[in-house]
Structure 1
Amino acid sequence: MRNHFLLLLFIPFLFSCIPAKDIIYLQGEPIAKKEIKRINNIPYKLQVDDILNIDIMSNDETLVSVFKKQSIGGAGGVSEGASYFSGYSIDSYGNIRMPTLGEINVLGYTELEVRKKIENELKKFIKTQEELFVSVKLAGIKYTVIGEIGSPGPNVIFQNKLSIIDAISSSGDITAVGNRKKVEIIRNSITGTEKFTIDLTQINAFDSDVFYIKPNDIINVIPLKQKTWGTGTTGLGALTTIVSLFTLISTTFILARNL
């Protein structure tokens, strides 16, 4: 009878430990492919509250100076954090407001389309044969991580391409009880809200259409069942919980007999 009781106590121990295969990233061997697949080959379409860095240059700077925003930071240039103030924020109507050019609607446009749009607007004012160079790019990629992550909350990475591995590592990595096999990506677009999942424990995660995140993505790391069981994340943790439970039951039984 006692042996059966001990066996019942140790059953949770067998199921509560988190296997190594559930916490190791990008397992398996990469498969050679005949064709190179372009990941995320659909250009990002701008949304409300995105911030654009727009630069207009010419051989004759006096021609384009009236179309440019005054930079913050002086001779040293604009710092990454100052992009919020020096960039062009897309308002709730989908517009940006540029010096001289006025309001330009950019909602749902790609960076390339906005660049061409600005170039066409400039040609209405500049009639000379001077060469113009217009640069349009997002002022960093903003994303939010929630759930089982070291540092949850919003984050901004100042680069034009960001993998989900980079995003998670920049947010403190997934905790021991986070489900790496089913990480959710919630994405808002002009057509509505979409939800995707990706298994970060497998090497084929590189082939996923959501391996590279897009601005304003929400990454949700859901917990493993071991967290709700509360039996520990490692063998030692589970054993400690079981020993504590066994000690409590034994103590209660002894006290009950002595009453």
Structure 2
Amino acid sequence: MVKQLSLVISLVISILCASCITNKDIVYLQENTGKAADSMQLYALPKPYRVQTNDQLSINVKAIDPELVSIFNPTNISSSGTSEQTLYFNGYTVDAHGDIEFPILGKLHVLGYTTDEIEVLVKEELLKQYFKETAQLYVTVKLPGLNYTTLGEIGTGTHVIYKDRVNIIEAIAQAGDISKAGNRKDVLIIRQYPDGQRIHHIDLTTIDAMASEFYYIQNNDLILVKPLVRKTLGVGQTPLQTLSTIVSLGSVLTGLYFLIKGL
């Protein structure tokens, strides 16, 4: 009986020790063994964001004579900022058909366009329908920052970063980082596309993540971090927690042994 009990205790201790969260589980962008270098070349570049339905756009038209373009900037968004709240009331919303309603020009189809392409489109239509080349038009199109949402073993909520290019490490830092119990080896990115949503996976514990096409996030991305199996099982996340679990379990098994022996 003693031998069997010792075997069970040894097995339980081995399993619990193996369940501790190690540095390999929580350190970001670890270099591959044997491939360490002073620097490395990264080839992945962020793909330009393409406008989706319900996006808010800030469109500002400038010319030599500001009075000529005042009708296109009725709310003077450039001076009031391009916050999401401001654009909700004063910007241009992409409707379910992928169109925006622009003064004088009417409906413009912008679904799937980049902001640079929309700038060209608006300028060309203005020159075709309303202005001459001598007006020297300058059109800018902006999104109200880069919006994304985080869920799971990370600070939960919707976040905005006022940059055109944001990588997933920056996004996670803005959200408050992934908890120690979060699975950094399989972070899910749920991304919007014109034909629907797709789920992508990225391992943030390897330096190869920086070359992934999903290393840079896009507007309206959902970043989902699942818990590690260790947390799901309810075992210790640190050696001290694991030791505490082992001592508690050992006490129970010892008490059970003496109880059976006394019968």
Q: Distance in 2 between matches of 1:147 and 1:87?
A: 32
Which deviates more, 99-108 or 203-212?
99-108
What is the rounded CA distance, in whole Å, between the counterparts of 1:32 and 1:236 in structure 2? 37
Checking the alignment, whether the CA contact within 8 Å between 1:87 and 1:139 is kept in structure 2 is no
Distance 2:93 2:159 in 1: 17
- Which deviates more, 203-212 or 239-248? 239-248
Question: For residue 116 of structure 1, what is the aligned residue in structure 2?
Answer: 120
Describe the superposition over 1:32-73 as per-residue Cα deviations: whole angstroms up to 9, x where unpaired.
44xx62513x42211011111111111100100011131469
User: Which letter does structure 1 place at the counterpart of 2:45?
Assistant: I
State the TM-score, normalized to the length of structure 2. Answer: 0.86
Q: Which moved more, 1:98-107 or 1:224-233?
A: 98-107
Distance change >3 Å, CA 79–CA 121, structure 1 → 2: closer
More helix, by proportion: 2
- The CA distance in 2 between the partners of 1:72 and 1:258, in whole Å, is 83
Rounded Cα–Cα distance in structure 2 between residues aligned with 1:60 and 1:135: 17
Instruction: Please say if 1:9 is aligned against 2:12.
Output: yes
Q: Does 1:216 align with 2:220?
A: yes
Equivalent residues of 1:58, 1:64 under 8 A apart: yes
The TM-score, its normalising length taken from structure 1, stands at 0.87
Contact kept? 2:54, 2:93, Cα under 8 Å = yes
Unaligned runs of 5+ in 2: none
Correspondence list, 1:238-253, <5 A: 238-252=242-256
2:137 is aligned to 132
Report the AA paired with residue 110 of structure 2: V
Structure 2 residue identity aligned to 1:125:
Y
Q: Decide whether the 8 Å contact of 1:16 with 1:231 is kept in 2.
A: yes
Which consecutive residues of structure 1, in runs of 5 or more, have no partner in the other structure?
none
Aligned AA for 1:37?
A: Y
Aligned length: 253
Counterparts of 1:164 and 1:128 in 2: how far apart (Å)?
42
Residue 56 (str. 1) matches residue 48 (str. 2)? no
Please give the alpha-carbon distance, in whole angstroms, between the structure 1 residues aligned to 2:104 and 2:200: 42
Cα 1:148–1:257 shift into 2, 3 Å:
same
Percent identity over the alignment? 40
Q: CA deviation at 1:254?
A: 5.0
AA matched with 2:142: K
Q: 1:69, 1:98 within 8 Å by CA — same for their partners in 2?
A: no
CA drift of 1:257 comes to 6.6
Match for 2:201: what amino acid? T
Tell me the SS of whatever aligns to 1:244: helix
Aligned counterparts, 1:152-191, within 5 A: 152-191=156-195
For 1:137, the aligned partner's letter is K
Aligned partners of 1:88 and 1:96 also within 8 Å: yes
CA RMSD of aligned residues (A): 2.4
Deviations 1:207-238 (A, max 9, x none): 11111011111212122110121111111111
Contact 2:60 2:77 (C-alpha < 8 Å) held by counterparts: no
What residue is the counterpart of 2:49 in the other structure? 44
Say whether 1:68 aligns with 2:73: yes
